[in-house]
Amino acid sequence: MTSQNQILFEKSLALIPGGVNSPVRAFRSVGGTPVFFKKGLGSKLWDVDGKEYVDYINSWGPMILGHAHPAVIDAVQTAAANSLSFGAPTGLELEMAEMINKLMPSMEQVRLNSSGTEATMSAIRTARGFTGRDKIVKFEGCYHGHSDGLLVKAGSGLLTFGEPDSGGVPASVAAHTFTLAYNNTQQLEDLFKKSGDEIACVIIEPVVGNMNLIVPKMEFLQTLRALCTKHGAVLIFDEVMTGFRVALGGAQALYNIKPDMTTLGKVIGGGLPVGAFGGRKEIMQCLAPIGKVYQAGTLSGNPVAVTAGLVTLKLIQAEGFHTRLTNQTKKLIDGLVQAAKEAKVTFSAQNVGGMFGLYFSAQCPTSYAEIMQNNNKTHFKQFFHSMLDSGVYLGPSAFEAGFVSAAHTDADITFTVNAAKKAFSAI
C-alpha cells in the first residue's frame, strides 16, 4: 500500500517549491520522503499513516513541555475565543516583556515580533542605528534567519568580507558582513585590531544549534565581550534556540556573559510563532516611534501566541525543571555513546541543557570546519533512516541539534537507545 506521506509529498511538489515550506524538511541531505504529521502529544508524534514516533525535534525547540501540554492548550483556547488578533496593544504583551526582563535582566527593554528571523534582522538594524556603523560580524555555521545580510559565508581570506550564500542576495549587501570561524579567538582579535571601529555589532549563537550542537570556549566568549566593549560594538546573543532551553536564563546566564542585545523565539511562543529582541535601554530607545530606527509588524505580539508562550515560561520556572531536563538529556547521550561503543562505531555526543548533538566522529567538533571535515555523513544517513524506521524522529540532517522535552520519560530513552543499538549494528 502506498504511504500517505509519499502521496502528500508528490502532490506538494506540484504546488510548493521542493514540496516543503522550509528547506530542512525536504530530507534532501538524507534522502527519502519527508514525514507528514497529524498529531503530537507529550514526547510522541503520529504521521498521516498512523505511525508513532518518539520526537527529538520538538518543532526545532519550542515544545520544551512536550506536545499539546494541557495547560498551554487550555490557555490558547481561552485566548482564541476573545479574538485571534487585534493589531493593537494588549496587556499580554506587557506581561511577556516583564517575564522576559525577569528571566533575562540584560533585556532592559523588549519588543515583540513574529519570528526569530524578524528578531535578528531588527536587532542588527537597531545596533546599526545606535552605533552609526554599517559592518556586522557573524560566524561560520551560525544561522540567524534568512535576512539578506546574514546569508553570507566566509571569503577566502581571514578578514575578507563575505560573499552571498544564497541567490537573490546582492553582493553589495553581503559586503558589509564579516564571517569568522566559531571558537577562533585569534581571528576575533585580528579583525577588531584592523576594523574594530567600523563594526556595528557582532551576532552569535552562544551555543550553536545550526551546524549541529557546538559548545563555545569560555576564552572565546570572554574575548568577544571584551572586544565589543572596547570598540563600542553591540554584542548580540541569538538565543532563539538557547533561550530558556539550555538554562532558565539562557546561555548568557549559563556562561555569565552579559550581551548588549538578545534575540528570542521558539520557547517564548510555546509552539506558536513569536519572536522578540531587546537589550540595553539606551539602544532600544533608538526604535520608532521614539527613535529613528523603524521596525513594525501588524501581528507582532499576537495575543494567542503570546498566551502560549507565557504559560510555557511560567511552567518551566518550576523548581528543578532545568536540572531534570538536563539530566534526562544526558541519559540519552550516555546511552547512545555506550551503544555506539559496543558496536565499535566511531561516534560522539554531547548536550547543553535540553539540546544535544550527535556526531559520527571520534570527538565532539568545536567549529564549522571540524564538523564538515570529520562528521561521517554516510553513517548519519544510515543511522537516521534506521532510527526513523524504528519510530525515532531526529533532525533530517547531520548538521542540526536535537531537543529533549520535559515529557520524555525513561521509557522513551530506553526505547531510543535500543533502536540505536540496532542502527549502530547495521552500520
Q: Give the active site residues.
A: 143, 238, 266
**What rounded mean pLDDT belongs to the chain?**
93
The cell numbers describing 232, all together, are 563600542
The full set of domain ranges for the chain reads 4-64+320-426, 70-315
Residue 375's pLDDT is 87
| pLDDT tens digits, one per residue of 271-323 | 999 999 999 999 999 999 999 999 999 999 999 999 999 999 999 999 999 99
Give dist(CA 332, CA 350) in Å, integer: 10
CATH topology of domain 70-315: Aspartate Aminotransferase; domain 2 (3.40.640)
Lowest mean per-residue pLDDT among 104-108, 113-117, 161-165: 161-165
User: Do 33 and 27 touch, CB atoms closer than 8 A?
Assistant: yes
| pLDDT tens digits, one per residue of 215-243 | 999 999 999 999 999 999 999 999 999 99
Amino acid type, 188: L
With respect to CATH, is domain 4-64+320-426 assigned 3.90.1150.10?
Answer: yes
Give dist(CA 295, CA 278) in Å, integer: 13
Output the DSSP codes for 242-309.
TBTTTBTTHHHHHTT---SEEEE-GGGGBTB--EEEEE-HHHHTTBTTTSSB----TTTT-HHHHHHH
Instruction: For the chain, give the percent of residues with pLDDT over 70.
Output: 96
Q: How confident is the model at residue 386 (pLDDT cuts 50, 70, 90)?
A: very high
| pLDDT tens digits, one per residue of 74-112 | 999 999 999 999 999 999 999 999 999 999 999 999 999
Beta-ladder partners of 176: none
In this model, does residue 38 exceed pLDDT 70?
yes
Cell 519572536, located at residue: 275
